[in-house]
Amino acid sequence: MPTKNAQTPVPSELRKHVAAIHTSGQLSFLERKMFNVFLANALDTLLSQRRHVIPVSILAEMIGFNSKNVGDLKDALTSIMKKVLEYDLLHETGDWEAAPLLAYAAIKSGQCHYEFSSFLAEQLSDPKIYATINLQLQKKVSGAYALALYENCVRFRAVKSTGFISVAKWRRLLGADASTYDEFKHFNDQVIKKSVADINRNMDIHLTAEYRRENRRVVEIKFMIEDNANGAPGGLSDDNELEQIKLTEAFRKLTALGVGESLAAMWIRQDPERALAAANYTDNRVSRKLITSNAAGYVRSVYEGATDIPLMQQKKPSAPPAAAELPGLSAAEEERAQAVRSAMAKLSDAERSAYVEKFREQGGATSTYNPETTKFRSVTERIAFTGWLARNLSTQ
């Protein structure tokens, strides 16, 4: 039975189908984080592979699990497999369906093996409507209620509001089914207010709760949603933007190096310049036979590293020299590349806008450039401009 290569990088963002977000919230904090990592790890191969594998060490790191007690992970896996969830509580499709979250799980030789049911794999393999969940941010919230509320709100980010949803349904979505929460005061104080404060302090959205009353009794809650500078961008995906990303050189090179499409697209959304630089740097070293295995893992370490990535010509050498002859970029090349990146970072808004105008005069596309933010809305235009800018600064 085929399994996912344990060395393949796991995306740090998850495109999670809203039908799986709007579920009965029976998962504990640890279990919800684990399921998100499992889905992100398997997203590109949900239909082609039945069983998936992730090193226990990586799983623990991605869920912020500091204990070395693997028994706790086993208990969580057992609990997940026992739970049958009702899907689509907000009736996005109008249908009702239920399924166990995991069909199989095992921990062997430091690896966590797991399977989704065929039904669940089909439902989640190509989500048409999904929210982007930052797996690094999910480690920052302090409880299951906050994480569940975050997931149920972030998908409405583009429209700025969840709309009014009944208190009873919010309790089911968040898993706050204890009898103590039958009294709204306790549910509001212990679940809603604490979760909102947790999200606003740590996550990439800012929530404001609004209440609708009937006969002085709160019957519905709505959350207003704004961007929050505390975290990375998320929200609903734009299919047109995704198609643009797939046409970029960065996407082509990253996927050719073995990076999954979801992870490659996420890197390009986060930092298209760094994604292309990481792809070029790794591609260059592969072509020179300095990397003989696991190029996908290597490019991830380059992209996520703390240091600057050397900028280089994108053309491969026609005849790769021996590794002993060329250990990598020369010190002068490294220094020049870092100087270019530094010069780009130091540009004032006025200087950047002047370069954008020059780029436009030379035939570059700038239709989505916003002079107030000095940003391009289009990933394709942003990448093209950045490459042009780097080449111009490197000749100065």
Please, what sign has the CA dihedral across residues 231, 234, 197, 22? negative
Task: Give 267 or 355, the one with higher predicted confidence.
Answer: 355
CB 83 within 8 A of CB 13: no
Q: Which CATH class is domain 1-133?
A: mainly alpha
Give the pLDDT band of residue 113 (cuts 50, 70, 90): very high
CA-to-CA distance for 388 and 341, rounded, in angstroms?
13
Task: Give 310 or 71, the one with higher predicted confidence.
Answer: 71
- For the segment 115-132, the average pLDDT, to the nearest whole number, is 67
- For the segment 297-304, the average pLDDT, to the nearest whole number, is 75
| Length of the chain measured in residues | 396
Long-range contacts of 317-322 (CB under 8 A, 24+ apart): 317/287, 317/288, 320/287, 320/288, 320/289, 321/288, 322/289
CB-CB neighbours of 96 under 10 Å: 10
Angle at 276 between CA 309 and CA 327, to 5 degrees: 45
User: Which of 208-217, 367-376, 381-390 has the largest mean confidence?
Assistant: 208-217
Task: Give 69 or 52, the one with higher predicted confidence.
Answer: 52
CA-to-CA distance for 102 and 380, rounded, in angstroms?
38
Q: Which of 359, 336, 281 is nearest to 314 (CA)?
A: 281
Please, what sign has the CA dihedral across residues 275, 276, 281, 285? positive
Q: Which pLDDT value is given to residue 229?
A: 58
User: Which residues of the chain form CATH 1.10.10.10?
Assistant: 1-133, 140-237
Q: Which pLDDT value is given to residue 90?
A: 46
pLDDT tens for residues 337-363? Answer: 667 667 777 788 888 888 888 888 887
Q: Which of 249, 210, 204 is nearest to 226 (CA)?
A: 204
* Model confidence pTM above 0.75: no
In the numeric block, which tokens belong to residue 382? Answer: 């942003």
Task: Give 131 or 389, the one with higher predicted confidence.
Answer: 389
pLDDT tens for residues 223-266? Answer: 999 887 554 444 434 455 667 788 888 888 998 888 877 678 77
Low-confidence winner among 127-131, 264-268, 285-289, 304-308 (lowest mean pLDDT): 127-131
**Does the pLDDT at position 48 exceed 70?**
yes
Give the pLDDT band of residue 12 (cuts 50, 70, 90): very low
Task: Give 23 or 134, the one with higher predicted confidence.
Answer: 134
Q: Which CATH architecture has domain 140-237?
A: Orthogonal Bundle (1.10)
CA-to-CA distance for 205 and 236, rounded, in angstroms?
13
**Does the pLDDT at position 88 exceed 70?**
no
pLDDT tens for residues 142-169? Answer: 778 888 888 788 777 777 888 898 999 8
CA-to-CA distance for 11 and 109, rounded, in angstroms?
23
CB 143 within 8 A of CB 191: no
Angle at 123 between CA 117 and CA 128, to 5 degrees: 160
